Amino acid sequence: MKKYVFALVLVSFTTVCMSQDIRYGVRGALNISNLDFDPEGAFVNQHRNGFAFGGFAEFEFAEKTSLLLEIQWSAEGGKNESIRADYIKLPIFLRFSLSDRFLLGVGPQAALKTWKDRDGFATFAASGVVGLEYMITDELFVDARATYGFTNILDQDLSDAKANNHLLQFGFGIKL
């Protein structure tokens, strides 16, 4: 799986080098995350409210198509302290302009756990992301994203249980 993510990132960066229009920006978000466990009941689980922040570069290919590469720090997991995990994430969005103000984005996301002393969590996680962005002005925007975890975020050596992270983000940002 890591090889596929690396290949996707490499192809994305190579394609982006041919791009004409590049915009940079920053983004912050409110997170509502939760874990789905298999078997159910492995942990008492409630959603966690957290936040995320990061920066991005948007590469426009055509009038209505762009690629957004972002790096963000994100507080995720469950409400219980023992099932919280924070990540450095790299979402890669292929984005389509639906109108002058709305953009739809979809793509993969790779994540690395940031807490070295947080035993029980796998170091790498992969997920899919879909988002909708509304441009308030030419620079300011609000957005909503949904993330679905594909990989088990629990360390297989420590537990037979499996958990996937799911996340809703409500963000705001500025394009510079």
| In the chain, % of residues over pLDDT 90 | 54
Q: List residues bridging with 26 in a β-sheet.
A: 55, 174
Residue 12 has pLDDT above 70, yes or no: no
- All structural domains of the chain: 2-175 (2.40.160.20)
88-137 pLDDT per residue, tens: 999 999 999 999 999 999 999 999 988 765 566 778 889 999 999 999 99
Consecutive H or E run containing 107: strand 102-113
Q: How confident is the model at residue 31 (pLDDT cuts 50, 70, 90)?
A: very high
